[in-house]
């Protein structure tokens, strides 16, 4: 038996960079910025570094406080609703900003991103494929 999926977007990523990163635009109120985030299907949520939240004018620690387990321990982050744009898709999403400013990486995880998507990956060709989950 074979299965077939159709996607509306295809994008190449930089194979020389560690992990698989996408450009992400985050918007909060009238502020917007562009950064990069690594795709992490093993992550329950989307996580961004604290400095991005602060640049956007988000009172980071007023958000929903959650502890997350990681490969090496725990980290605390605060959740806020933002507009998240990547690969031509703009979502109103709930994402987290790390409490510690030592976190310098950003993650696109399930809640707030993958949850709404149909996602394909061909790492050999450095290509990802994307559609909304219910897009024909």
- Footprint of other proteins on this chain (CB under 8 A)? 8-9, 11, 14, 16-19, 23, 25, 29, 32-36, 38, 40, 42-43, 47, 49, 51-52, 54-55, 62-64, 68, 70-72, 75, 79-81, 83-85, 87-94, 101, 103-105, 107, 111-113, 115-116, 132, 135
| Shortest Å, Cβ 120 to other proteins | 16
State the DSSP H helix or E strand holding residue 53, giving kind and residue range, or none if neither: helix 50-55
Q: In 3-state terms, what secondary structure has residue 13? A: coil
Q: Distance between CA 133 and CA 136 in Å, rounded?
A: 9
Shortest CA distance to 22 belongs to which of 39, 40, 9, 7?
A: 39
Nearer to other proteins, 1 or 30 (CB): 30
Nearer to other proteins, 1 or 69 (CB): 69
Nearer to other proteins, 2 or 18 (CB): 18
| Shortest Å, Cβ 1 to other proteins | 26
Q: Distance between CA 113 and CA 44 in Å, rounded?
A: 10
Q: Distance between CA 85 and CA 90 in Å, rounded?
A: 4
């Amino acid at each position: 038996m074979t299965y077939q999926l159709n996607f509306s977007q295809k994008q190449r990523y930089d194979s020389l960079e560690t992990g698989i990163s996408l450009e992400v635009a985050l918007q909060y109120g009238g502020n917007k910025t562009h950064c990069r985030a690594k795709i992490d299907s093993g992550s329950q949520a989307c996580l961004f570094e604290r400095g991005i939240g602060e640049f956007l004018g988000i009172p980071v620690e007023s958000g929903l406080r959650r502890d997350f387990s990681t490969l090496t321990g725990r980290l605390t982050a605060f959740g806020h609703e933002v507009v998240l744009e990547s690969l031509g898709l703009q979502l109103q999403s709930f994402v987290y900003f790390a409490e510690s400013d030592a976190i310098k990486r950003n993650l696109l995880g399930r809640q707030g991103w993958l949850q709404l998507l149909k996602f394909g990956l061909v790492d050999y060709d450095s290509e990802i494929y994307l559609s909304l989950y219910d897009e024909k």
